[in-house]
Structure 1
Amino acid sequence: MTNNVNIMSNLSQYDAAFSRFYSCMRIKTLPLYSFDFHHEYTKVLQNTFIDTARIKVLATKNKWKNTDWDLQSILRDDVVIVTDVNLKIVFASHNLIKMNGYVEEEVLGKSPKIFQGEVTNRITSSEIKKAIDAQEAFENVVMNYKKNGEVYACLIKGYPLFNNKGELSHYIAFERAA
């Protein structure tokens, strides 16, 4: 019985200390516009999870091997584009709209050349094409165009994706404004 009294006494002391701690705190309210910030952050997080899940579905469905990327951190900062072997876009992450103004629906089924134009360096494009033809990874900075016509430098890291049989399945590119 004395043991229970000691425990109850300790809990009472804990509760009293806890109460004193919180009664001394000053609660600061946030301005209303912080909810917009929170909503945007939540939306980015949600889109990251959606994009990660969709890429994992593509990887599983097509039996990609060697896909040990940290997709969630990549998708937070970069745009991810996946093309089929004919270089037609089959996936574009939500970040695409922030980088160049396009949404996925506008680019699906099209070539990544949709982002290129007059100032795109043909030598760089040729280097990328050689790497793609050789089924090798590449990293280049390309001058691309936003939907509104503005030019921006885009760092592209592209990789061929092979299935479990070793056959070329898709290409994946991690892109960010350079």
Structure 2
Amino acid sequence: MRRVLLVDGYNIIGDWPELKQLQLKDLEGARDILIEKMAEYQAYTGMEVLVIFDAHMVPGLGKKYRNHRLNIIYTREKETADERIEKLVREMKRVDTQIYVATSDFVEQRVIFASGAYRKSARELRNEVEEMEKNIKKDVIQTKQSRVKTKLPITDEMAEIFEKWRRGER
């Protein structure tokens, strides 16, 4: 079963307290943080994520690009994120696809639900992201504590060097 999450970017930014404050002085920074969090969410959950931003905040023709293996869409001028999301839901709706839409816009939630998609409020998404971040931290700590035991008699310093090479770090 294919699972897709469509995120109304500026709606989420306007709802999450930390992004809401940041957007007042650095809208691009708030967008970047949301994109990074959604990329982590996609990697952690395995759910395909598309983040849709209204063009009125970024004038010009609509564009679509990938960042962090995440699809990011800026709507065309005079097209709202809600309109694009509704169009995407219609295009993607299939028996083998579950579509979720993250927005706190009540009208949009009703339209999406009537189209056969599931809704996810900004608060629900934020709670899921916070829980995911806690789990990632816990996993990292456990991984560091349970170091792989090797049969080769090497020092901890050498094991750390080999681990960096394995990860492609210098």
Question: Shorter chain as normaliser: what TM range?
Answer: under 0.3
State the structure with more CA Rg.
1
More helix by share: 2
TM-score (norm 1): 0.22
Of structures 1 and 2, the one with the larger relative CO (CA 8 A, separation 6+) is 2
